[in-house]
Amino acid sequence: MKRTVFTGGQVFDGTSTSLADVVVEGRRIVDVGVGLDGDDAVDCAGMSIVPGLFDCHVHVLIRDLDVARSEQEPYSLPYYEAVRNLSLLLDQGITSARDAAGADAGVRRAIEKGLIEGPRLQLALVMLSQTGGHSDLHLPSGGSRSMAMMMPNPGRPRAVRDGVDDVRRGVREILRAGADAIKVATTGGVMSVGDDPRHAHFRDDELEVIAAEAAAAGSYFFAHAQGAEGIKAALRHGARSIEHGYHLDDEAIDLMLSTGAWLVPTLSATQAIVDAGDRGVPIAPESLALAREALDAHRASFARAVDAGVKVAMGTDSPPYGHPSASNLDELQLMVRASSMTPADAWRATTASAAALLRQHDLGAIAPGALADLVVLDGRLADLGGLRERIRHVVIDGRRVR
């Protein structure tokens, strides 16, 4: 079997950095050290080599934040846009991602069969929500929004559930449809008009059954949670990760530490909404006001969580793919600017920590025996600027795909 050696790069192994060579044979890394040889050599002098990158919160069926436009387009169009969005993730070295609602099992299967290109993809399918919650498409007029990524279909069960029995059935239907994890909205959200991100959603008996059904299937649940009470409710019932976390208080941070839950901050998401509004994208005034109000609180909560030692995994909530300057990798710079995180901490959140969150134990590291997902980029890792343009090689399963 052919051995490919990536020579002379600064290797970040998921924990620390050193000058080394990396040898790939078949699907796996077989050696890391100095002076190694192989059948083919890739000169990485002046470059950095990192494990394949993770984004733990994407929505590959979404192009941008223009809901009014998307509601006027054919139902199937987002699936074709997902083909481009998945390719854009690979362009940025993101070799593993968790789609946090929208994509169904067919999207994942198309990647696995080689029909389309994309990262290793885990799925939530839908976001469970109570009536009047973040997934409820009801409008004051009596009609409903027609967002393709939220509408039930044969591969995407109904998201809005109320009461213990309905919630239990919902979890089982979602797992039956091929979900890797269960996503639950334990608060309202910014982009769903009519609910408030500070209000807690679902009661304890509903969350208890969600957690129990996910665990019985060997899965877990993670929570869209922005307000403090909804965050704490999710954590008390065993949420594996908190997504967003706008309003973390001391009790919430203590719960994250005691339960070992991850924070997926998605700093990009709040910033993207504000930026889109400034560019004239037709975002509901209520949503734009909530995003502007949340911006500083979001960053402050994240900084406090980092200082306390909460585990962090990188996730973006998909910055608008339709905007040419958007990059998921901007999240690394945002995390460092908003907190005491170092660039090395940000890389760890995007590799080893994210792999642990998603239970991908063969990924997130450069070490003998690990699956050969690698990214080679120009320059030093301490410089987080222009990462998208600095990508030179992307390897998945030992195959160079970029």
Which DSSP string do the residues of 141-153 spell out, in sequence order? TS-B---TTTS-B
Paired tokens of 313: 């995994």
CA distance 392 to 48: 10
As beta bridge partners, residue 312 has 263
Q: Which residue has the tokens 């922005």?
A: 226
Strands 221-225 and 399-400 turn out to be unpaired
CA distance 337 to 13: 23
* Whether residue 31 lies in the annotated active site: no
Q: Which of 136, 317, 330, 373 is catalytic?
A: 317
CA distance 156 to 105: 9
CA distance 241 to 264: 7
Q: Are 360 and 56 in contact (CB under 8 A)?
A: no
Q: Which of 180, 183, 195, 275 is catalytic?
A: 183
Paired tokens of 135: 């997934």
* Whether residue 317 lies in the annotated active site: yes
196-214 residues labelled b (16+ CB within 10 A) or e (exposed): bbbebbbeeebbbbbbebb
CA distance 232 to 343: 29
CA distance 57 to 54: 9
CA distance 394 to 398: 10
Residue 56: its H or E element:
strand 53-58
**Residues annotated as part of the active site:** 183, 317
